[in-house]
Chain A
């Protein structure tokens, strides 16, 4: 728990004699950090066990979150479902289509209107392998012009759809508000469930660190008592254990991120085959750099907090005993 003076370094540091209390404070932290790492490195078995349990507790919500994030991305392609498609009467001339577009664009609740001409629609269909043959057999373009209306963020309401349906030249209105709402509900349910699981397992990770640090503290009770008699503050007693907790958290996060990456890698091929059968080029996306740092930072904070709780408990007991 107390910083160990490395034999080789003292000479080099001599030149900084009297660097002041900030240097000493920084030294003390650096040594606490390194000596607590030395401590866990000397017991690889026990450390691996603690870090492993913690890593799994972190990896579960992490994988769940990633899965959800990917599902959301797939559903992003269904955002079109939020748009209202107006299939116009096939014989409508291009200038009438344009006039209609301009009129709809001025409707309240409408953000944008895009025209998709019959030619564009045909080109789109040709790209789908199983339709290309059927289209080739036709000697004319059966597709109507389509107006794609993007409603405001609140989503297309039934009233808007109703208004659009009554416009002259509109043949058929398609909007999938209900379907989309249902998907959205499922996704937000999944999100909520993931958060709950993450909170519970995060609490579990906290307790794992707290308990491990508590055992470590008990093993060093004599040492703590001695440094307290020599005038160590609570902060001094606590510091090496806080670093210990932070190491556990950081190592567990690295392992958890690796587990998530491994899961992604092992599912990659299967997902690729699956989505290819739907004619999509969707690929599983893993953690980006920001999220990775977030997970590691969060786990370090969790380890630190767990160690803080354990040491506070021990210091409280110690005070009752001696003073």
Chain B
């Protein structure tokens, strides 16, 4: 069974051209792939449909076999816990320490405190921020803040991690490091879907690429060597 399956999915916002139409693809567990396209092609909309910040107007989306259109509002939080999200503007809580920001998904899931501390430390170690655990996010550089955001998305070991332009504000060196971090996740069983318009970086990683154009999926490219 595929992890995520889009079947003829369309999304139209009232009074405008369709943001997405007839989009169909599948993601396997532990797969890493990119989503590219010009700005306004529908990348963000597609990601929002997956973690139910928006609902599709057409077609069906299945996550782990569950039809998202039939999901009751009451169940939405539990679905979101299966998905980690990295935002372009990181969306950290600026009045909490790095530790507390990363701990948030575990706290929400009702984990025991000792377990939370352990896992936060492990994941901060992985993103190279173990020493900044007690720092406030405002004291961190932009790249470090983004890594805190990634740590927060990873900490609950989601089945799928979504990242919307995670390297948008970073210099090429940092961007490459962040991408390497994402590339290491499938080995731990987390599938990764990264929306990015940085074609150069995307090409270098040699992963599967979905290309959107005006809301339509025009290419699903799989590198032969991968």
Identify the A interface with B (CB < 8 A).
2-5, 7, 10, 13-21, 23-25, 27-28, 222-223, 226-234, 236, 319, 322-323
| B72-80, B177-185, B209-217, B218-226 - interface stretch | B72-80
Given contacts A10-B114, A233-B108, 16 further A-B contacts (CB under 8 A): A2-B93, A2-B96, A2-B100, A2-B107, A5-B99, A5-B113, A10-B113, A10-B117, A15-B114, A16-B114, A28-B110, A223-B93, A226-B91, A227-B108, A229-B85, A230-B85
Give the complex CA separation of A247 and B99 in angstroms: 27
For the side of the interface on B, what is the size category?
A: 35 or more
A231 touches B77 (CB 8 A): yes
Could you say which residues of chain B place their CB within 8 Å of the CB of A228? Answer: 77
Assess the B112–A23 pair: CB atoms within 8 A. Answer: yes
Contacts between chains A and B (CB distance < 8 A), count: 93
What is the interface of chain B mostly: helix, strand, loop, or mixed? helix
B116 within 8 A of A: yes
Using a CB–CB cutoff of 8 Å, the interface residues on chain B facing chain A are: 51-55, 73, 76-81, 85, 91, 93, 96, 99-100, 103-105, 107-118, 134, 152
Q: Is the CB of B108 within 8 A of A236?
A: yes
Residues of A within 8 A of B51 (CB): 229
Min Cβ gap B190→A in Å is 16
CA distance A5 to B111 in the complex (A): 13
Q: Which one of B99, B108, B111 lies within 8 Å of A230 (CB-CB)?
A: B108
* Most-contacted residue by chain B among A10, A28, A230 (CB, 10 A): A230
Neighbouring A residues of B117 by C-beta, 8 Å:
5, 10, 13-14
Is B53 a contact of A232 with CB atoms below 8 Å?
no
**Cα of A322 to Cα of B77 in the assembled complex, Å:** 13
Q: Do residues A231 and B115 form an inter-chain contact, with CB atoms below 8 A?
A: no
* Chain A contacts for B109, CB-based, 8 A: 231
A72 to B92, CA, bound (A): 61
